[in-house]
């Protein structure tokens, strides 16, 4: 009986010390997002793997001479470990001129499989948004991607995941033959509102790291459920779009 009491006392003391040590630590342990979404990728192609600073794992795909992420970025820290600011308030989102991210509709359930939304200030941050050895795709690299899959005709259909599990109907002609596996992550407007919140599945928008000629906006790319091509547009830097990284 005495031995049991001694053991119990030691166990209690050890437990208390461990709790006290944890309370004094500045380390925050983040669990990586495990996303087992189905019918996203092209099962006939071979994908690689990549992990970000949070430990999130991504499929990668070689298109032409470049390796692209085949999933949208979900990182909440820059590659040097510094946190990216998570902004949920629409007024704060609209007014910030520093790097920020959010989940679509401020609901983390949307991170799988759509990824996070980032403003362009996070894209351009010198700490680096992508994993080491990778970078946010440039405007020129988006153009190269289209050329690598056969040119602008039906480029979007070659990049969108098939079917209507994620995309609105008809998503007609989508084959994902490139393996890019594009999904409709939607966006956050420069006013802080979430675009098309009632029609999930209509479009996906991806930042490039390249500013427009005036420097007031940055180039982006758009896939739509009702369009067969990849569209090149420009967006206000305060908007929130998804991100794909390319290997250096």
Q: What is the pLDDT of residues 69-124, one digit of tens each?
A: 999 999 999 999 999 999 999 999 999 999 999 999 999 999 999 999 999 999 99
Strand, helix or coil for residue 218 = strand
Q: CA torsion sign, 232 to 236 to 242 to 244?
A: positive
Give, for 95, the enclosing helix (H) or strand (E). Answer: helix 90-95
- What pLDDT shows up at residue 198? 57
The pair of three-digit structure tokens given for residue 197, joined into one six-digit string: 């919140």
Mean pLDDT, range 185-202, rounded to an integer: 87
- What pLDDT shows up at residue 225? 95
**Closest Cα partner for 69 from 230, 201, 182?**
182
Residue with tokens 């500045």: 26
- What pLDDT shows up at residue 20? 34
Residue 171 gets the label, from left (phi > 0), alpha (psi -120 to 50) or beta, of left
Reported as a pLDDT band with limits 50, 70 and 90, residue 37 is: confident
Whether 209 contacts 136, CB under 8 Å? yes
Residue with tokens 């403003």: 119
Residue 24 above 80 pLDDT? no
What CA–CA distance (Å, rounded) separates 71 from 60? Answer: 7
**Closest Cα partner for 222 from 235, 233, 237, 236?**
233
Give, for 247, the enclosing helix (H) or strand (E). Answer: strand 245-247
Residue 3 above 50 pLDDT? no
Give, for 67, the enclosing helix (H) or strand (E). Answer: strand 66-69
Whether 60 contacts 69, CB under 8 Å? yes
Whether 72 contacts 114, CB under 8 Å? yes
- What pLDDT shows up at residue 195? 87
- What pLDDT shows up at residue 15? 35
Residue 26 above 60 pLDDT? no
Residue 14 above 60 pLDDT? no
How many Å separate Cα 134 from the centre of its chain?
14
**Closest Cα partner for 142 from 240, 225, 233?**
233
């Amino acid at each position: 009986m005495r031995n049991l009491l001694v053991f119990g006392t030691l166990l209690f003391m050890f437990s208390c010390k461990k709790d006290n040590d944890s309370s004094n630590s500045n380390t925050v342990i983040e669990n990586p997002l495990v996303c087992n979404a189905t019918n996203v990728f092209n099962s006939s192609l071979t994908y690689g793997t990549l992990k970000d600073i949070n430990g999130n794992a991504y499929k990668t795909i070689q298109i032409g001479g470049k390796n692209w992420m085949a999933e949208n970025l979900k990182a909440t820290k820059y590659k040097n470990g510094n946190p990216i600011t998570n902004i949920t308030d629409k007024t704060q989102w609209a007014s910030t001129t520093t790097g920020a991210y959010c989940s679509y509709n401020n609901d983390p359930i949307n991170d799988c499989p759509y990824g996070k939304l980032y403003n362009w200030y996070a894209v351009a941050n010198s700490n680096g948004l992508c994993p080491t050895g990778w970078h946010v795709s440039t405007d020129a690299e988006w153009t190269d991607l289209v050329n690598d899959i056969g040119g602008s005709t039906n480029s979007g259909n070659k990049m969108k995941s098939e079917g209507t599990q994620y995309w609105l109907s008809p998503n007609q002609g989508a084959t994902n033959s490139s393996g890019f596996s594009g999904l409709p992550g939607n966006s956050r407007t420069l006013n802080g509102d979430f675009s098309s919140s009632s029609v999930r599945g209509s479009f996906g928008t991806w930042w490039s790291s390249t500013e427009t000629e005036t420097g007031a906006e940055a180039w982006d790319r758009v896939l739509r459920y009702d369009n067969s091509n990849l569209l090149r547009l420009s967006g206000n830097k305060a908007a929130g779009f998804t991100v794909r990284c390319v290997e250096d």
